């Protein structure tokens, strides 16, 4: 039997949401391509975030370049600390992240009911810092390699996740630059530019959507952990001492964003960090219940003045806010909201996906695959069906289709039974199907069918646009 993730992968490929990158050459691990429907869904996710985050008085947008001065990554701590502990199995040569190898082993123990042992290992893992700490856990517990089943391990080494490249024609160390591993630093180094070119003063934020790259040791679970992905990040600059209040505010805003786009609270949970990243004084993740278990989709971090202070030190340029009236000056503290566009794309896809038994037109029950996207996220908003290709029905459908197309992505489908056409649209998550039948010629009414309730209603053809506007 296929798992829900396998069904989703197969639907994604079959209907053009996501393809493996470089597929005809055997693929490139950790990279994916968004197909015709995927790119629409991804754009809709990003658009919903952009509107929620920047269509307000206190947040400005930004689009910084991917390649930046290499000193930025020294100042941010990424050159020294953006590392994962890795370990190789000597027999299979498989490379693993040491911490995930241990986490997966803990989960296996929990499933077997060996909770005491799982808790002991978990507390050792939480305390682990040095490569030797991870190594001792793996050796002491005789954790086997999932590939070969053997326990013949190398030492644990730290591995920097940043991709390196060179600017200019000479490939030498002095020309090294990095593909950014997060979009956040592009925001920090533009803090003064935005402050000086707008009328903002703390509390205010800068938001950005863009690609980020991490040379992950293990890519896994479809779009969950990839080497190239998109982030949607916002840094909110606040007066020191007010960070707790803004941390709570932004956590609530971001939680509600997922809820308002159709996620049920039962598939979300808040997970405060036990181990904090090098820049954070507090952090809580929003996790989503994926088919493979809970996984982080967004982090809300209280980053103190770590980044601005370090950029001030490394660049020699003041990164302060000075109040022109009171002359008060300070380096703002930062609350960050950081969500993966591609990872939340996957969460929205999983959340929407259902396979269910429904009553077909002929009265028999049949299986339907449906993507119950929030209408704002649905890649195709409506489909127009002339019931037959004769009696002047296509001539009525065509102008309606063209008119709707000016505002939304819509499809026209003239082939197969109405039932088949509904199934095709359900499978890609189209919220509304509009059928033009012979009665339309008499009363100018069309049938609108709702994807989720499968209820149908007759409305006048002249009001279709108004109807869709109200429901999307
Ligand atoms: N600026 C802070 C930062 O980058 P992070 O927790 O490392 O924090 C934030 O990443 C979000 O970016 C994650 O919650 C996730 O949604 C996304 N993300 C991180 N690494 C990813 C990867 N390898 N593949 C896909 N998404 C990733």
Calpha distance 138→131 (Å, rounded): 11
Per residue in 247-262, pLDDT (tens digit) is 999 999 999 999 999 9
How many CB atoms are located within 10 Å of the residue 323 CB?
Answer: 12
Cβ-in-10-Å burial (0-12, 13-18, 19+) of 114 comes to middle
The alpha carbon of 252 and the centre of ligand 1 are apart by a number of angstroms equal to 19
pLDDT computed for residue 426 by the predictor: 97
Please answer whether residues 194 and 62 qualify as being in contact, where contact means their C-beta atoms are separated by less than 8 angstroms.
yes
Residue 78 CB–ligand 1 contact under 6 Å: no
Q: What is the pLDDT of residues 1-12, one digit of tens each?
A: 567 788 889 999
**pLDDT tens digits along 325-356:** 999 999 999 999 999 999 999 999 999 999 98
Strand partners, 43: none
Provide the pLDDT for residue 279: 78
What digits encode the pLDDT tens for the residues 85-140?
Answer: 999 999 999 999 999 999 999 999 999 999 999 999 999 998 888 899 999 999 99
CA distances from 418 to 51, 195, 342, 355, 395 (A): 36, 57, 34, 19, 18
User: What is the rounded average pLDDT of the residues 387-415?
Assistant: 96
Does the beta carbon of 304 sit less than 6 angstroms from any atom of ligand 1? no
Pocket test for ligand 1, best of 64, 218, 343 (most atoms within 8 A of CB): 343
Residue 371 has pLDDT above 70, yes or no: yes
Report DSSP state, residue 225. Answer: B
Amino acid 410: pLDDT: 98
- The H-or-E segment that residue 337 falls in is strand 333-340
Neighbours of 79 (CB within 10 A): 16
pLDDT of residue 2: 66
Tell me, rounded to whole angstroms, the distance of Cα 354 from its chain centroid. 20
* pLDDT value, residue 254: 98
Report the DSSP beta bridge partners of residue 176: 166
pLDDT value at position 168?
A: 87
Is pLDDT above 70 for 458? yes
Our answer on whether the CB atom of 192 is closer than 6 Å to any ligand 1 atom is no
- Token pair in block for residue 238: 């606040």
- For the chain, which domains are there? 34-67+177-349 (3.30.930.10), 83-160 (3.30.40.230), 380-471 (3.40.50.800)
Name the residue with tokens 């896809």.
349
Does the CB atom of residue 228 touch ligand 1 within 6 A? no
pLDDT of the residue at 1: 54
């Amino acid at each position: 039997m296929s798992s829900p993730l396998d069904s989703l992968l197969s639907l994604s490929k079959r209907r053009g949401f996501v393809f493996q990158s470089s597929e005809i050459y055997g693929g490139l691990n950790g990279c994916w391509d968004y197909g015709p429907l995927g790119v629409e869904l991804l754009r809709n996710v990003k658009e919903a975030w952009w509107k929620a985050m920047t269509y307000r008085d206190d947040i400005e947008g930004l689009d910084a370049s991917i390649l930046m001065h290499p000193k930025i990554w020294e100042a941010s701590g990424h050159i020294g600390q953006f590392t994962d502990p890795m370990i190789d199995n000597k027999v299979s040569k498989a490379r693993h992240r040491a911490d995930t190898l241990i986490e997966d082993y803990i989960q296996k123990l929990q499933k077997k009911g060996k909770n005491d042992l799982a808790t002991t290992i978990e507390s050792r893992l939480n305390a682990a810092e040095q490569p030797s700490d991870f190594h001792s856990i793996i050796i002491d517990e005789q954790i086997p390699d999932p590939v070969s089943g053997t326990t013949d391990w190398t030492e644990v080494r730290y591995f920097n996740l940043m991709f390196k490249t060179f600017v200019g024609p000479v490939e030498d160390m002095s020309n090294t630059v990095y593909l950014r591993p997060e979009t956040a630093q592009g925001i920090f180094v533009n803090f003064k530019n935005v402050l000086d070119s707008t009328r903002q003063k703390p509390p205010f934020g800068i938001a950005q959507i863009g690609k980020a790259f991490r040379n992950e040791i293990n890519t896994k679970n479809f779009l969950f952990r990839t080497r190239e992905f998109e982030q949607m990040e916002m840094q909110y600059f606040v007066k020191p001492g007010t960070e707790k209040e803004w941390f709570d505010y932004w956590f609530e805003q971001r939680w509600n964003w997922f809820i308002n786009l159709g996620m049920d609270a039962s598939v979300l949970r808040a997970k405060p960090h036990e181990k904090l990243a090098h820049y954070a004084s507090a952090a809580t993740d929003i996790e989503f219940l994926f088919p493979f278990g809970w996984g982080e989709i967004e982090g809300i971090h209280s980053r103190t003045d770590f980044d601005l202070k370090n950029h001030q030190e490394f660049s020699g340029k003041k990164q302060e806010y000075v109040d022109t009236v009171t002359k008060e000056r300070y380096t703002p503290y930062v609350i960050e909201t950081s969500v993966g566009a591609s990872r939340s794309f996957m969460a929205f896809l999983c959340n929407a996906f259902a396979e269910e038994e429904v009553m077909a037109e002929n009265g028999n029950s049949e299986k339907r695959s449906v993507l119950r996207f929030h209408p704002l996220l649905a890649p195709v908003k409506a489909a127009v069906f002339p019931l037959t290709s004769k009696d002047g029905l296509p001539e009525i459908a065509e102008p309606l289709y063209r008119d709707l197309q000016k505002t939304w992505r819509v499809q026209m489908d003239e082939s197969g039974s109405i039932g088949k056409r509904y199934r095709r649209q359900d499978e890609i998550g189209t919220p509304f199907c509009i059928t033009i039948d012979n009665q339309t010629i008499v009363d100018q009414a069309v049938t609108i069918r709702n994807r989720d309730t499968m209820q149908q209603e007759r409305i006048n053809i002249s009001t279709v646009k108004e109807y869709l506007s109200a429901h999307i």
